[in-house]
C-alpha cells in the first residue's frame, strides 16, 4: 500500500493535535473512552475494558497510512480527546467531523479551538469542498461549538439510533463550505 498520510500535527493556541500512539491507550481509556457521559450522544458504547480501547487505537494507527484523519487532542502532553474526519463518501466531495473531549475539560473552549483548527487544516490540505457534522438535537454544546466555528445549520434529519435500539432521534446537520473559511 502506498502511504497517504493525512494526520499531521496541528498546534493551536492551547492544544497539540497529533496521531494516536499505542502509549495513549491507558490515558484515553481513563480520560474519556470509558465515560458514559462522554458517549451519551455518540455512536459507540463506553469502553468496558482497556483492551477495547487498545483495539480501537491500534486500528486508528493501522489506518493512518490509508489517509485517515484521526487526531489525539493533547493538553500539555496529556491525551484529553479525539477529533476525526470520517471520509466514507468517495466522490462526494466532503467529509464529516466527529469529536469528543474528557468531561474534566468541558466548557473551556477546547473543542471550539480543535474544530476550528481541523476545519482550516482540511480545507488547506485536501480537496473537500465542504465539511459536515451532525449533532443530536439535545447536544447543545456540540451545536454551539460548531456555530462558533462558522458551521451553519442546514437541516434536521430523523434517523434511528442503533445504540438506542432503533429509537428515532433528530439530528441537526451542520455544514461549512470552503468559501466560508474566510469568515472563520
Ligand atoms: C460537545 C463537546 C465536544 C463540547 O466541547 P467543549 O470543549 O466543552 O466545548 P467548548 O468549551 O468549546 O464550548 C463551545 C460552546 O458551547 C457551549 N456549551 C458547551 N457545553 C454546553 C452544554 N452542555 N450546553 C449548552 N452549551 C454548551 C459553551 O458555553 C460554548 O459556547 P459560548 O462560548 O457561547 O458560551 C463536549 O461536551 C463533548 O466532548 N461531549 C461529549 C461528546 C460529544 O457529544 N461529541 C459531539 C458529538 S456531535
Domain boundaries, the chain: 10-183
> Is the pLDDT at 180 greater than 80, yes or no?
yes
Exposure on the CB side of residue 2, measured as CA atoms within 13 A? 0
For ligand 1, say whether the CB of 46 is within 6 Å of any of its atoms.
no
Q: Do the Cβ atoms of 86 and 96 come closer than 8 Å?
A: yes
CA angle at residue 104 from 118 to 152, to 5 degrees?
35
Q: Mean pLDDT throughout 111-139?
A: 97
| Best mutation site among 43, 97, 107 for ligand 1 pocket (most ligand atoms within 8 Å of CB) | 107
The pLDDT confidence band at residue 162, using thresholds 50, 70 and 90, is: confident
99 pocket-lining for ligand 1 (C-beta < 6 Å): yes
Predicted pLDDT of residue 184: 60
Model confidence pLDDT, tens digit, residues 55-71: 999 999 999 999 999 99
Q: Name the pairing type of β-strands 94-101 and 78-86.
A: antiparallel
| Apex 133 CA angle, 131 and 136, nearest 5 | 170
Q: What is the 91 CA–ligand 1 centroid distance (Å)?
A: 31
142 pocket-lining for ligand 1 (C-beta < 6 Å): yes
Contact (CB, 8 A) for 89 and 97: no
Radius of gyration of the chain (CA): 16
User: Average pLDDT of 26-54?
Assistant: 97
Q: What is the pLDDT of residue 103?
A: 98
* Residue 36 Cβ contacting ligand 1 at under 6 Å: no
The pLDDT of residue 183 is 60
* Interval 87-95 mean pLDDT: 88
pLDDT at site 78? 98
Cell of 80: 484529553
Please give the mean pLDDT across all residues of the chain: 95
Among the four given CATH numbers 3.80.10.10, 3.40.50.300, 3.30.470.10, 3.40.630.30, the one describing domain 10-183: 3.40.630.30
pTM of the model: 0.97
Q: Which residues are 161's β-sheet partners?
A: 167
CA-to-CA distance for 70 and 85, rounded, in angstroms?
7
How do 94-101 and 130-136 pair as beta strands? parallel
Q: What does each C-alpha distance from 84 to 76, 81, 133, 165, 168 come to in angstroms?
A: 20, 10, 11, 25, 25
Task: Give the pLDDT of residue 83.
Answer: 98
- pLDDT for the residue numbered 170: 96
What pLDDT is attached to residue 133?
Answer: 98
Q: Is the CB of 110 under 6 A from ligand 1?
A: yes
Q: 98 or 1, which is more confident?
A: 98
> What confidence tier does 38 reach under pLDDT thresholds 50, 70, 90?
very high
Q: Using the predicted structure, report yes or no on whether residue 102 has a pLDDT greater than 80.
A: yes
Amino acid at each position: 500500500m502506498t502511504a497517504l498520510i493525512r494526520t499531521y500535527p496541528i498546534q493551536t493556541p492551547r492544544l497539540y493535535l497529533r496521531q494516536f500512539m499505542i502509549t495513549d491507550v491507558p490515558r484515553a481509556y481513563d480520560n474519556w473512552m470509558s465515560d458514559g457521559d462522554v458517549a451519551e450522544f455518540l455512536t459507540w458504547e463506553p469502553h468496558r475494558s482497556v483492551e477495547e480501547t487498545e483495539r480501537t487505537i491500534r486500528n486508528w494507527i493501522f489506518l493512518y497510512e490509508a489517509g485517515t484523519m484521526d487526531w489525539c487532542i493533547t493538553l500539555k502532553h496529556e491525551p484529553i480527546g479525539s477529533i476525526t474526519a470520517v471520509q466514507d463518501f468517495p466522490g462526494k466531495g466532503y467529509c464529516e467531523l466527529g469529536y469528543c473531549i474528557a468531561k474534566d475539560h468541558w466548557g473551556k473552549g477546547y473543542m471550539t479551538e480543535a474544530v476550528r483548527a481541523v476545519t482550516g487544516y482540511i480545507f488547506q490540505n485536501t480537496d473537500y469542498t465542504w465539511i459536515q457534522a451532525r449533532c443530536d438535537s439535545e447536544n447543545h454544546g456540540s451545536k454551539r461549538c460548531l456555530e462558533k466555528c462558522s458551521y451553519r445549520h442546514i437541516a434536521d434529519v430523523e434517523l434511528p439510533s442503533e445504540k438506542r435500539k432503533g429509537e428515532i432521534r433528530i439530528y441537526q446537520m451542520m455544514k461549512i463550505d470552503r468559501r466560508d473559511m474566510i469568515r472563520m
